[in-house]
Amino acid sequence: MHLARLGGLAASACAFALAATGASVALAPASNAATSGAAGNSVYSVAPYVDMSNGQEGLLDTAITGHHLKAYTAAFVLGEGCNQVWGDTLPIGNDSYTDPEIARARSEGASVIISSGGASGLPLAWTCTTQSSIDAGYQALIDDYGVTQLDFDVEGAAVADTAAAARQMQAMKDLKAANPNLQFSITLPVLTSGLTNDGVNILKAAKNAGVKIDVVNIMTMDYYAGTGAEMGQGAIDAAKATLAQMQSVDPGYGYANLGITPMIGKNDDGSTFTLADAQTVESFAAQNGVGRLAFWSVNRDQPCGGSANSLPTCSEISQSSLAFTDAFVPYEGSSGGGGGGGGTSSDFSLSLSPGSASVAQGGSATASVATATTSGSAESVALTASGAPSGVTVSFSPASVTSGGSSTLTAAVGSSVAAGSYPITVTGKGTGGTHSATYTLTVTGSGGGGGGGSLTNAGFESGSLGPWTCTGGSTLVSTPVHSGGHALQVTPDSGGTGECDQTVTLSPNHSYTLTGWVQGPYAYLGVSGGATASTWSNSSIWNQLKVSFTTGSSGTVTVYVHGWYGQGSVYADDLALG
């Protein structure tokens, strides 16, 4: 475990947030120019971070106006001595870019939490030792932006600075006396086993000052436990352990005082927080009344290419734009949200079986949408789907069920839909709240519009290996599978890789992408013959590989899956050429 890089916003801010590099800028005079629009005395239940320094804030407007986001956390304000600036080095209350963006979001109906610190900077109490100046600086944030919530992201060596923590908590005590509606959160790095000892000491600093932290927000990311780490369950483990630590300091803490903040998509340590992980965390939060769900960041809530971990403007996984926002926003209206810590009289759960399918262009797939009453009385649940690509129609029969009942989802794929994997969010809305699950639809194409052949038996559902030709003990298995009833098992031996091949003829001199889901030690996916390209992974869970290549003059290539000699079996499923 690399404690120096512990924590999600630590890593993300290391990669993205811009540290203040110019000379100190005097703090803008406090004013009441910003119109009030923050929600009174409640803790926002969904408030993802937005990096206000990387020029991607336009996605925030879409999240608010088109995806029902009601609150967000603007990051980061940095302390410079006893002054404060935004991460782009412009002063608070007078930033020609950030201030209008915050005002615009408010006009669109969203409330804002102002966050100070991050991995590349420090909150004011860590850079200024004069208590009156610290108090005045934080008061200026409240006045300039008309907010009732402040967040303080404390990372790296700053977590161990006990003197700064004491100044911070004294400032919060002072400001709460002057601003009765003020709420504040402390965002801290975490392991799946909970806070570090330094993190616990920050809780103790609050108790010593006679103030209670409204939300202890934990960064559930970058555990450095390997690329196969299960990030959804890891967040739950961290939440449970942290709550126990919080209650050991002050028994009055509950889940309503806890926040959970993952880094969506690819993390710095190579692990991946998926849409399925988001559903896992959202369900846990709803069941336990977690005070806040957030993520780093709205800027990253869109797909992209790239090889670096944790790119600042995309998740590096296959997803629809703002799919994580869609997965977490329902918690805003669920029984657990709003920091209440308790439920309404009724609630339900929603699940899909199977959760994914591979379909050829022009085909269709079905899944069962099951609901269950988790508390109170049964309620009517209306089913909808979002995120399907153009040409894919998703319908439900019936479109509304009583919790405890089920519906059949049908995804009909048009003949012109591009090959690829598409996450579709299935949402159930009842009287007691809203819950969602992700259905992954993989469309297999016919050469990506360039003509030529396509893979046969690409999902290994025909009941035999043909037309794949395989070595040794390679076979079809019923478990593990990515979707459907079968997957391919390739078994290396001590002297050979073990391999399954299929030769296809595609359009000459044309670019293609081969995709496939694999798991196991050193699982390779690639092409040979008329083109040469491959990639691999070493993971105990299903993960998607993508190989781009250009055919030669014949258009003929051999697609292969193989393991590595002396290693265990590898598995493949849902291959596609597009």
Choice among 136-150, 280-294, 381-395, 444-458 with the minimum mean pLDDT: 444-458
Instruction: Kindly state whether residues 565 and 438 are assigned to the same domain.
Output: no
- Distances, alpha carbon 120 to alpha carbons 56, 265, 459, 496, in Å: 19, 21, 46, 48
For the entire predicted model, the pTM comes to 0.56
- The pLDDT tens digits of the residues spanning 318-343 come to 898 999 999 998 887 654 444 333 33
Tell whether the model's pLDDT for residue 76 goes beyond 90: yes
**Res 55: pLDDT:** 67
Tell whether the model's pLDDT for residue 80 goes beyond 90: yes
**Res 190: pLDDT:** 94
Rounded distance between C-alpha atoms, residue 136 and residue 480, angstroms: 59
Among 157, 145, 208, 153, smallest CA distance to 182 is for 145
Taking the CA atoms of 524, 421, 56 and 187 in sequence, report the sign of the dihedral they define.
negative
**In sequence order, which ranges of 250-334 are alpha helices (DSSP H)?**
275-288, 323-328
Domain boundary among 308, 333, 358: 333
Instruction: Kindly state whether residues 184 and 76 are assigned to the same domain.
Output: yes
Residue 451 placed within a domain: no
Instruction: Kindly state whether residues 328 and 352 are assigned to the same domain.
Output: no
Instruction: Kindly state whether residues 184 and 327 are assigned to the same domain.
Output: yes
Domain boundary among 302, 333, 364: 333
Tell whether the model's pLDDT for residue 115 goes beyond 90: yes
Residue 567 placed within a domain: yes
Instruction: Kindly state whether residues 40 and 136 are assigned to the same domain.
Output: yes
Higher-confidence residue: 358 or 374?
358
Average pLDDT of the chain is 82
**Res 448: pLDDT:** 36
Higher-confidence residue: 269 or 37?
269
Is the bond leading into 48 cis (omega within 30 degrees of zero)? no
Instruction: Kindly state whether residues 260 and 404 are assigned to the same domain.
Output: no
Tell whether the model's pLDDT for residue 16 goes beyond 90: no
**Structural domain boundaries enclosing 362:** 347-444
Domain boundary among 287, 309, 333: 333
Rounded distance between C-alpha atoms, residue 53 and residue 17, angstroms: 7
How many domains does one find in the chain?
Answer: 3
Instruction: Kindly state whether residues 251 and 284 are assigned to the same domain.
Output: yes
Instruction: Kindly state whether residues 318 and 356 are assigned to the same domain.
Output: no
Instruction: Kindly state whether residues 316 and 382 are assigned to the same domain.
Output: no
Residue 338 placed within a domain: no
Q: Say which residue the tokens 């258009």 belong to.
A: 555
- The pLDDT tens digits of the residues spanning 518-577 come to 999 889 999 988 888 889 898 999 999 999 988 887 778 889 998 887 788 999 999 988
Instruction: Kindly state whether residues 289 and 191 are assigned to the same domain.
Output: yes
Residue 449 placed within a domain: no
Instruction: Kindly state whether residues 540 and 412 are assigned to the same domain.
Output: no
Split at pLDDT 50, 70, 90, the class of 45 is confident
Centre a 10 Å sphere on the Cβ of residue 528 and count the other Cβ atoms it contains. 15
Tell whether the model's pLDDT for residue 464 goes beyond 90: no
Tell whether the model's pLDDT for residue 279 goes beyond 60: yes
Specify the DSSP class assigned to residue 452: B
What is the mean pLDDT of the segment spanning 200-214?
96
Residue 172 placed within a domain: yes
Rounded to 10 degrees, the C-alpha dihedral 98/104/105/108 comes to 180
Entry field: residues in the chain: 578
Percent with pLDDT over 90 in the chain = 41
Q: How many CA atoms lie within 13 A of 211 on its CB side?
A: 27
Residue 460 placed within a domain: no
Rounded to 10 degrees, the C-alpha dihedral 263/267/271/274 comes to 40
- CATH number for 437: 2.60.40.10
Q: Residue type at 346?
A: S
- Assess contact for 89 and 77: CB atoms under 8 A: no
Residue 452 placed within a domain: no
Instruction: Kindly state whether residues 328 and 355 are assigned to the same domain.
Output: no
